[in-house]
Amino acid sequence: MMIPTIAIKRGAIEIIDQRALPGEYRIVAMRSVAELCDAITTLAIRGAPALGVAAAFGLLLAVEERWGADGEYFFDEDGERAASFAGRAGMDEIRAVLDGARDSIAATRPTAVNLFWALGRMAACYQARYESAEDLLRALHREAVSIHREDRAMSRRLGENGASLLKDRDSVLTHCNAGGLATSGFGTALGVVYAAVESGKRICVYAGETRPLLQGARLTAWECIQRKIPVTVITDGMAAHVMSNGLVSCVIVGADRIAANGDTANKIGTLNLAIIAKRYGVPFYVAAPSSTIDFSIRSGAGIAIEERSADEVKRFAGMPVAPEQAQAMNPAFDVTPAELISAIITEHGVHYPPFNGVWSASAGGSA
């Protein structure tokens, strides 16, 4: 089962509004780059792989917004007939609009490298030489659709690779949401669970709630229920308790950026889990597509960490949960050192430490 996290349909980007889950399943359509940027910033769409797809589709949206008109559109993922672009603008003007959209989207969230990876692919595409504006836009459309389809395929292969690490009746602790909602529909950390279940293994999930926005409680638990996978929500402070009592077979988390040495940035609280897992001998796995590996950064010290509004910590559902006068920190991510990671699962296989040399070649990157 693929979750329809994101698609481009008849000139608009459609997403599942993750802010509304689990109470309401709501599809929203975005028709401007500003709407997309707001959706990314407010976490209506989130998860590193999904943000890469959103960025790619966002450049198509920039063209729709600038030159489209009521009742017509230029791009549709399903290949329906779209309006001709001939005569509407020259290639220099198109590239200028795309450059502006790329800058706006790049400014939304700094940590997830997939967003920048996708924007880089799209920029290389539209900056190439073409005979006409129509040719440029056809190539841009193909590249965006390819990024979407590749992400689905990578997640599926990643899940199948990781499923080999799980045994029948294993219990998996995960953090935040790294399922279909965080990708183009299948998932990374949860994709490993899904693939194992599809192969006939009986797996149960412990979902860390993931303060302050409860992506584990709201989103991971929702996904597991859709797939009829047993799920138990725990508060973040219960992780040591469940691991010390032998309730967890392994920890599997996703990633927003992985440095060349294997240091991994993921949702805040991931480092806590890695330290606890090390103490109690629980395998700690990271699951992410190779597009999440940033070989330009040698270690986690070079990963930019997004700092979000203090109100996310001090308020919940509009209600204050801390004194107004109190200060609050809200880093969205932390960095887990490679030495705490048992293996990193990608679409290319299961990679064990040390994460260099063969790791770089097998993941398709260069150190």
- pLDDT value at residue 88: 85
The arithmetic mean of pLDDT across residues 54-77, rounded, is: 91
* Per-residue DSSP letter, 183: S
pLDDT at 76 over 80: yes
Domain membership of residue 337 (yes or no) is yes
Same-domain pairing of 149 and 209: no
- pLDDT value at residue 367: 37
Residue 317 φ/ψ region, left for φ over 0, alpha for ψ in the -120 to 50 degree band, beta for the rest: left
Q: How many residues does the chain have?
A: 367
CATH number, position 343: 3.40.50.10470
pLDDT in tens, 225-254: 999 999 999 999 999 999 999 999 999 999
Same-domain pairing of 343 and 217: yes
Domain membership of residue 331 (yes or no) is yes
User: Binning pLDDT at 50, 70 and 90, where does residue 351 land?
Assistant: very high
Helix 91-106 and helix 48-67, axial crossing angle in degrees, nearest 10: 140
- pLDDT value at residue 366: 40
Are 39 and 108 in contact by the 8 Å Cβ rule? The answer is no
Same-domain pairing of 150 and 173: no
Looking at the chain, the whole-number percentage of residues with pLDDT higher than 90 is 88
CATH number, position 88: 1.20.120.420
- Helix, strand, coil: what percent of the chain each, to 5? 40, 15, 40
pLDDT in tens, 306-330: 999 999 999 988 899 999 999 999 9
| Tokens coding 239 | 């992780």
pLDDT at 63 over 90: yes
Round to whole Å and give the CA distance between 197 and 168: 9
Round to whole Å and give the CA distance between 250 and 170: 8
- pLDDT value at residue 30: 96
User: Binning pLDDT at 50, 70 and 90, where does residue 68 land?
Assistant: confident
Instruction: Find the domain containing 24 and state its range.
Output: 6-155
- pLDDT value at residue 246: 97
Same-domain pairing of 123 and 216: no
pLDDT at 118 over 90: yes
pLDDT in tens, 150-171: 999 999 999 999 999 999 999 9
Looking at the chain, the whole-number percentage of residues with pLDDT higher than 70 is 96
Q: Which of 108, 123, 155 is the last residue of a domain?
A: 155
Domain membership of residue 1 (yes or no) is no
Q: Which residues are catalytic?
A: 256
pLDDT at 260 over 60: yes
Round to whole Å and give the CA distance between 221 and 214: 10
Q: Which of 99, 125, 155 is the last residue of a domain?
A: 155
Domain membership of residue 15 (yes or no) is yes
The arithmetic mean of pLDDT across residues 117-139, rounded, is: 95
| Greater model confidence, 122 or 356 | 122
Q: Which of 105, 132, 155 is the last residue of a domain?
A: 155
Quickly list DSSP for 250-316: EEEE--SEEETTS-EEEETTHHHHHHHHHHHT--EEEE--GGGEETT-SSGGG----B--THHHHEE
Same-domain pairing of 55 and 81: yes
- Tell me how far CA of residue 125 lies from CA of 82, 93, 104, 129, in angstroms: 21, 15, 18, 9
Domain membership of residue 367 (yes or no) is no
Same-domain pairing of 171 and 81: no
Helix 133-163 and helix 113-126, axial crossing angle in degrees, nearest 10: 150
Same-domain pairing of 356 and 219: yes
Domain membership of residue 82 (yes or no) is yes
Quickly list DSSP for 149-161: HHHHHHHHHHHHH
The arithmetic mean of pLDDT across residues 216-220, rounded, is: 98
| Greater model confidence, 358 or 122 | 122
User: Binning pLDDT at 50, 70 and 90, where does residue 81 land?
Assistant: low
pLDDT at 359 over 90: no
User: Binning pLDDT at 50, 70 and 90, where does residue 79 land?
Assistant: low
Same-domain pairing of 58 and 193: no
Same-domain pairing of 208 and 67: no
Overall domain count for the chain: 2
